[in-house]
């Protein structure tokens, strides 16, 4: 009976939207933390279904977007070395480094850059081409980190010695804590990431509930998943009883996935990490454990990691913090478009600027459309 | 990067070590079949069960009952959206 009720309440989107509208008593601000959520919200037109009093902000959950220019420069430096193949997830190759050059540009000038779907594909490439060194640009969050760890464990098992990674992996909890601590960012509820939560478990958000009285709901990526998550948040906010609601039980448990975390901890240790727009955040990244440093691409190839400036005029940093919406950036739709992106938020499928541009109908900046790059 | 539609396991190929080399599963669904790795899945599936996949790795095993419940939810959702003229986008998984 209860199962049946839950079934009915979640089986369609229209009743969910109606219920959200009925439940809403005052304006609420909700941040979706996951890039896949951002994209799904835009693609399914969820914003247009919701009452205007709900403000949805995109958070720092797109792995390509939060990778700082210094790391892009390091990937570029590796790609330009002789007999090195740089392997990467697709979106990353169009992100400009600090001097405007992207991996795609480097490739068109002869560097070997290969797009892979999984780090295991990069390892397979290393096995096929023993005369080359294959370097994997290791970006991602807690969902991707165990796949990278599993790949390195496999590389060691198979004795592959021409495979390296440049570790730029990040972890969510410290970054979320820092964001919520910002008095300028008013957020009432957090739509928590689906697959990251599958690994770290829904209980990880409890400190945010206690510290900031923040409503949290873990949601999947289908429209009804997202709407269910939003409805849960609105009910929690209005009842004044914030908690952690797991609306994605087909993938997420309270404890998370211990096997995945075991792999991660076997290979990586936490370290301070620089996030684009957010700066250096203590214990928010993963670096290779001593036992796995023979896979460290920076060390092996002698590539320095430099702090660099973000592209002039790009507001990605404030967009990743939920302080601005993409059309608030003066470059949006003018000198920055998906075809000629200035910042990573316009490159990645999961970036807020790209999603806004493709799906929202706003093709021009609110700040006038003819501005070019600021100094 | 990958939308969370469970896929059914049609074959499990065990590796040499339960922890570090657990092998791969063959999954099928929606006319596609592919291999997924089992290193990070919470529980090694058996044939007939379903897995949720992220970037070539299974991340969660669902029993047939759990998956059937979830799949029917998604199917109904798709039907309703279709009636409203708003088809949900295709899966992002390649
Ligand atoms: S529109 Fe372009 S330049 Fe502006 S914040 Fe977005 S990515 Fe950066």
Chain-centre distance for alpha carbon A359: 19
**Looking at residues B51-59, what average pLDDT do you find?**
89
Looking at chain A, list the stretches that DSSP marks H as alpha helix, in order from N- to C-terminal side: 2-11, 13-23, 35-43, 46-49, 63-66, 69-79, 103-108, 119-128, 145-158, 172-180, 194-200, 206-212, 223-239, 258-267, 297-301, 316-320, 352-359
- Phi, psi dihedral angles at A13 (to 5 degrees): -85, -35
Say whether pLDDT at B82 is over 60: no
pLDDT, residue A372, reads: 40
Plot region of A124 (φ>0 → left; ψ -120 to 50 → alpha; else → beta):
alpha
Say whether pLDDT at A238 is over 90: yes
Q: Give burial (CB, 10 Å; 0-12/13-18/19+) of A220.
A: buried
Is residue B94 a part of any domain in this protein? no
Number of domains forming the structure of chain B = 1
Residues of B in contact with A221 (CB under 8 A): 3-4
What would the pLDDT profile of A168-179 be if each residue is shown by its tens digit?
Answer: 999 999 999 999
pLDDT, residue A313, reads: 82
Percentage of chain A beyond pLDDT 70 is 94
End-to-end CA distance of chain A: 63
Among all residues of chain A, which has the CA nearest to that of B58? A147
A44 pLDDT band (50/70/90 cuts)?
A: confident
Which residues lie below 8 Å from residue A348, measured CB to CB, with a gap of 6+? A35, A62, A63, A64, A65, A91, A95, A354
Residues B60/A257, Cβ–Cβ less than 8 Å:
yes
Residues B77/A11, Cβ–Cβ less than 8 Å:
yes
Percent helix, strand and coil across chain A, each rounded to 5? 45, 20, 35
Residues A250/A221, Cβ–Cβ less than 8 Å:
no
Average pLDDT of chain A, as a whole number: 89
Is residue B83 a part of any domain in this protein? yes
Whether B42 sits inside 8 A of A154 (CB atoms) is no
Crossing angle of helices A13-23/B64-83, nearest 10°?
80
What would the pLDDT profile of A312-330 be if each residue is shown by its tens digit?
Answer: 788 888 888 888 889 999 9
Q: Which residues of B sit within 8 Å Cβ distance of A?
A: 1-4, 6, 19-21, 37, 39-42, 52, 54-57, 59-60, 62, 66-67, 69-70, 73-74, 76-77, 80-81, 84, 86, 88-89, 92, 94
Is residue B92 a part of any domain in this protein? no
Residues A162/A132, Cβ–Cβ less than 8 Å:
yes
Of A82 and A325, the structure prediction assigns the larger pLDDT to: A82
pLDDT, residue B93, reads: 32
Would an 8 Å CB–CB cutoff place A155 in contact with chain B?
no
DSSP state, residue A331: T
**Looking at residues A59-88, what average pLDDT do you find?**
94
**Looking at residues A219-247, what average pLDDT do you find?**
91
Q: What is the pTM of this model?
A: 0.87
What would the pLDDT profile of A127-139 be if each residue is shown by its tens digit?
Answer: 999 999 999 999 9
Among all residues of chain A, which has the CA nearest to that of B56? A118
Q: What H or E segment, with its residue span, contains residue B66?
A: helix B64-83
Say whether pLDDT at B85 is over 70: no
- Tokens 């936490």, residue? A270
Q: What H or E segment, with its residue span, contains residue B74?
A: helix B64-83
Which of A331, A334, A350 should be mutated for ligand 1, with most atoms under 8 A from CB?
A331
Domain that holds residue B53: 5-87
Nearest CB to A257 within list B1, B59, B94: B59
Best residue in A41, A141, A251, A266 for a mutation probing chain B (most B CBs within 10 Å): A251
Is residue B68 a part of any domain in this protein? yes
Q: How many CB atoms lie within 10 A of CB A302?
A: 8
Of A66 and A221, the structure prediction assigns the larger pLDDT to: A66
pLDDT, residue B87, reads: 40
ipTM of the complex: 0.78
Question: Mind giving me the DSSP string for A125-168?
Answer: HHHH-TTSEEEEEEEE-TTTHHHHHHHHHHHHHHT--SEEEEEE
Say whether pLDDT at A7 is over 60: no
pLDDT, residue B76, reads: 67
CA of B9, closest CA in chain A: separation in Å? 16
pLDDT, residue A36, reads: 86
B89 pLDDT band (50/70/90 cuts)?
A: very low
pLDDT, residue A300, reads: 96
pLDDT, residue A295, reads: 98
CA distance A243 to A208: 9
Which residues lie below 8 Å from residue B5, measured CB to CB, with a gap of 6+? B29, B30, B52, B71, B74, B91, B93
Of B94 and A152, the structure prediction assigns the larger pLDDT to: A152
Question: For position B33, which CATH number holds?
Answer: 2.30.30.140
Whether A143 sits inside 8 A of B59 (CB atoms) is yes
Residues A137/A124, Cβ–Cβ less than 8 Å:
no
Residues A136/A88, Cβ–Cβ less than 8 Å:
yes
Give the Å distance between the CA of A139 and the centre of ligand 1.
20
User: Residue A246 pairs with which residues in a beta bridge?
Assistant: A218
Residues of B in contact with A222 (CB under 8 A): 3-4, 74, 77, 88
Among all residues of chain B, which has the CA nearest to that of A252? B60
Say whether pLDDT at B1 is over 70: no
Q: Give burial (CB, 10 Å; 0-12/13-18/19+) of A173.
A: middle
Whether B3 sits inside 8 A of A251 (CB atoms) is no
Which residues lie below 8 Å from residue A78, measured CB to CB, with a gap of 6+? A84, A86, A135, A166, A297, A301, A303
Is residue B32 a part of any domain in this protein? yes
Residues B19/B39, Cβ–Cβ less than 8 Å:
no
**Looking at residues A38-51, what average pLDDT do you find?**
86
pLDDT, residue B94, reads: 29
Of A7 and A128, the structure prediction assigns the larger pLDDT to: A128
Q: Where is average pLDDT lowest: A143-152, A231-240, A309-318, B72-81?
A: B72-81
Is residue B77 a part of any domain in this protein? yes
Say whether pLDDT at B74 is over 70: no
Number of H helices, E strands in chain B: 1, 5
From chain A residues 11-50, the ones with a CB under 8 A of any chain B CB are: 11-14, 36, 40, 43-45
CA distance A275 to B1: 20
CA distance A321 to A176: 10
Of B29 and B4, the structure prediction assigns the larger pLDDT to: B29
Is residue B18 a part of any domain in this protein? yes
Domains and CATH numbers, chain A: 1-310 (3.40.50.11740), 316-360 (no CATH)
Residues A330/A374, Cβ–Cβ less than 8 Å:
yes
- Tokens 């979106």, residue? A91
Is residue B93 a part of any domain in this protein? no
pLDDT, residue A6, reads: 34
Of A306 and A256, the structure prediction assigns the larger pLDDT to: A256
């Amino acid at each position: 009976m209860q199962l049946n009720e839950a079934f009915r309440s979640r089986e369609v989107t229209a009743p969910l939207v109606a219920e959200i509208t009925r439940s809403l008593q005052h304006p609420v601000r909700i941040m979706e933390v996951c890039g896949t959520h951002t994209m799904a919200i835009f693609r399914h037109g969820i914003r247009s279904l919701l009452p205007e009093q709900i403000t949805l902000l995109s958070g720092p959950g797109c792995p390509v977007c939060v990778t700082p220019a210094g790391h892009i420069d390091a990937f570029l430096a590796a790609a330009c070395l002789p007999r090195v193949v740089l392997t990467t997830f697709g979106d990353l190759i169009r992100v400009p480094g600090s001097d405007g050059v992207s991996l795609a540009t480097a490739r068109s000038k002869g560097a070997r850059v290969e797009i892979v779907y999984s780090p295991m594909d990069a390892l397979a490439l290393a096995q096929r081409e023993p005369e080359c060194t294959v370097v994997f640009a290791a970006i991602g969050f807690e969902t991707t980190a165990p796949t990278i760890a599993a790949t390195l464990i496999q590389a060691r098992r198979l004795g592959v010695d021409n495979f390296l990674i440049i570790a730029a992996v990040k972890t969510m909890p410290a970054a979320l804590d820092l964001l919520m601590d910002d008095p300028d960012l008013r957020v009432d509820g957090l739509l928590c990431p689906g697959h990251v939560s599958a690994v770290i478990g829904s209980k990880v958000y409890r400190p945010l509930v206690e510290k900031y009285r923040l409503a949290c709901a873990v949601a999947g990526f289908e429209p009804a998943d997202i709407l269910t998550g939003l409805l849960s948040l609105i009910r929690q906010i209005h009842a004044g009883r914030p908690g952690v609601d797991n609306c994605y039980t087909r993938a997420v448990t309270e404890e998370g996935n211990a096997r995945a975390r075991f792999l991660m901890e076997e290979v990586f240790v936490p370290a301070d990490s620089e996030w684009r727009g957010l700066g250096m955040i203590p214990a928010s990244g993963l670096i290779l454990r001593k036992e796995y440093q023979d896979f460290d691409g920076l060390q092996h190839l002698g590539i320095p990691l430099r702090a660099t400036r973000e592209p002039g005029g790009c507001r990605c940093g404030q967009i990743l913090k939920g302080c601005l919406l993409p059309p608030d950036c003066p470059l949006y739709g003018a000198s920055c478009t998906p075809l000629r992106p200035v910042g990573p938020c316009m490159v990645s499928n999961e970036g807020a600027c790209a999603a806004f541009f493709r799906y929202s109908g706003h093709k021009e900046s609110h700040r006038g459309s003819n501005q070019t790059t600021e100094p | 990067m990958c939308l969370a539609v469970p896929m059914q396991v049609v074959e499990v190929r065990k590796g040499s070590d339960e922890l570090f080399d657990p092998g791969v599963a063959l999954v099928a669904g929606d006319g596609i079949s592919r291999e997924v790795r089992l290193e990070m899945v919470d529980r090694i599936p058996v044939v007939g069960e379903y897995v949720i996949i992220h970037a070539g790795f299974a991340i969660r095993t669902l029993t047939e009952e759990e998956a059937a419940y979830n799949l029917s939810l998604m199917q109904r959702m798709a039907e309703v959206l279709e009636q409203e003229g708003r088809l949900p986008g295709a899966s992002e998984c390649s």
